[in-house]
Structure 1
């Protein structure tokens, strides 16, 4: 794929992983959407802003940003063709006209220099092969004084997700990988500071935020959804059918404490990160 250096991620997000997220966009938004207001408020998206959404996926955040930037525009970039197709379809359904979506690798994509006022991302920045280079590239896409705001995963220790994934630990590896790689690559605020400063940003802050996510209408539904989530499904396939079946069985009692009349709800945790490109725009 031309213009792509993050080839492993591109393969995943244009294969099963991206197809699953696109087919279940409403469910993934129910998991992560509780963080939207935190992010958009921190980004201070104004009515004339030009917004860049990094790793926009199915585009819910991009569309919400476009709504705040009603006299400006929002542009989403992502590796995943299936998710971008869903993002465009949702924008058409919702009548959001000041939004565009593009397939590309934000790590190396040639953005218009100084072409955006603010860059945002909801859990879309944890997988860069070269994070300093990637954020440097994003910084060049911002005008001087432009704003960066994103959400990234904290460590899982002590969280609702840890108790759920811990129930499968006897049968499967943890799907997140150790801090420093994978989804928890920015779990350490010191690393966030190091990467963003190295990429040329200043005034870096990381604030711990929490939000409820709805993982299913009941325990059985949530267990099925989690089992089909890309990283879990991959490890189940690697472990074999017997271990996979035991892991699925272990999910049921692990999810039971989180069942409510409104569905299975896990409290999610994240770092809300903000930074500035130096200069005055």
Structure 2
């Protein structure tokens, strides 16, 4: 089985994919298209973030990398008086706005801006939350310092991030099938992307340098719902922008063989209520240091 000789490399860089333009292009459009899937897939993580954030009535909450608004609206439902969702993706924010009910209009607002550089009002928020929204900063040190400045002294930060790829069946199972047949793009583990905060020591160092204390990094292992069945899972995998670019390197015969291999690998993961794959994340909590 060979890749198409006219297209043997993936040329879309990580920097392009996870830039503001990338998130307003195919990456963001993919998340809008698959919103209901991702909402269900990440429901357990969303619930853990909101529980750990301990949002109190009257709290002001900042949702960083809010995407289509799952965590934003969940924070509002938990009792926050004011929730600001910030993201760089125009299509994802448009979807988040579309979901807002008249009842939520007084609580929830959205802002298209880069949380790494946006000039927040100092100390304006009691809590900052993020579900996988802190992984794509070009300068994470500056980003965490900016987030700290947006929190009041003693304000809380709660976020989720992926553990290393080898601990995540959700990534390793399909990628191992692909990697046996397609040259995979190489990346620096510290560059912006899904695993840029996989190392707990890096997380702790970044947070400490930004002025956070009371840092806790808790491992979370789950087997979330991914798809209704194998056909639905394959449709989803083919829709992911990176996978789509990889599959474009295959001729028709190679593509058929790859699909058969994926079906074989995914078959044991089917359950009575859908196809499930294991995930491993970190749930991180921290507090902005008190002003002396």
Same fold (TM over 0.5): yes
Question: Aligned pair 1:222/2:230, yes or no?
Answer: no
Residue number in structure 2 paired with 1:204:
215
Inter-partner Cα distance in structure 2 for 1:121 and 1:114: 18
1:10 paired residue among 7, 16, 20: 20
Residue number in structure 2 paired with 1:65:
75
Distance change (3 Å), C-alpha of 1:30 and 1:177: farther
Answer whether contact 1:118 1:142 (CA < 8 A) is retained. yes
Residue number in structure 2 paired with 1:23:
33
Quote the offset at 1:235 in angstroms: 2.6
Question: Aligned pair 1:121/2:134, yes or no?
Answer: no
Residue number in structure 1 paired with 2:261:
250
Quote the offset at 1:173 in angstroms: 4.8
Inter-partner Cα distance in structure 2 for 1:78 and 1:179: 23
User: How many residue pairs get matched?
Assistant: 273
Question: Aligned pair 1:156/2:165, yes or no?
Answer: yes
Residue number in structure 2 paired with 1:131:
140
Residue number in structure 2 paired with 1:3:
none
Inter-partner Cα distance in structure 1 for 2:258 and 2:219: 30
Which structure carries more relative contact order (alpha carbon 8 Å, separation 6+)?
A: 2
| SS, match of residue 172 in structure 1 | coil
Segments of structure 1 that go 5 or more residues without pairing to the other structure are 1-5
2:177 paired residue among 156, 167, 176: 167
Segments of structure 2 that go 5 or more residues without pairing to the other structure are 1-14
Q: State the Cα deviation string for residues 177-223 of structure 1 (Å, max 9, x = none).
A: 45323211111101101111122211221100123322211101111
Residue number in structure 2 paired with 1:85:
94
Quote the offset at 1:224 in angstroms: 1.3
Answer whether contact 2:126 2:151 (CA < 8 A) is retained. yes
- Write the mapping of 1:92-103 to structure 2, written as runs, cut at 5 A: 92=101, 95-97=103-105, 98-103=107-112
Answer whether contact 1:178 1:184 (CA < 8 A) is retained. no
Q: State the Cα deviation string for residues 247-275 of structure 1 (Å, max 9, x = none).
A: 44332112111111211111221000111
Quote the offset at 1:11 in angstroms: 1.5
Relative to the length of structure 1, the TM-score reads 0.90
Residue number in structure 1 paired with 2:49:
39
Residue number in structure 1 paired with 2:85:
76
- 135-144 vs 212-221, which deviates more? 212-221
Inter-partner Cα distance in structure 1 for 2:116 and 2:183: 29
Inter-partner Cα distance in structure 1 for 2:186 and 2:101: 34
Relative to the length of structure 2, the TM-score reads 0.87
Distance change (3 Å), C-alpha of 1:64 and 1:229: same
Answer whether contact 2:167 2:280 (CA < 8 A) is retained. no
Quote the offset at 1:25 in angstroms: 0.7
Quote the offset at 1:234 in angstroms: 2.7
The two structures, once aligned, show a CA RMSD in angstroms of 2.1
| SS, match of residue 104 in structure 2 | coil
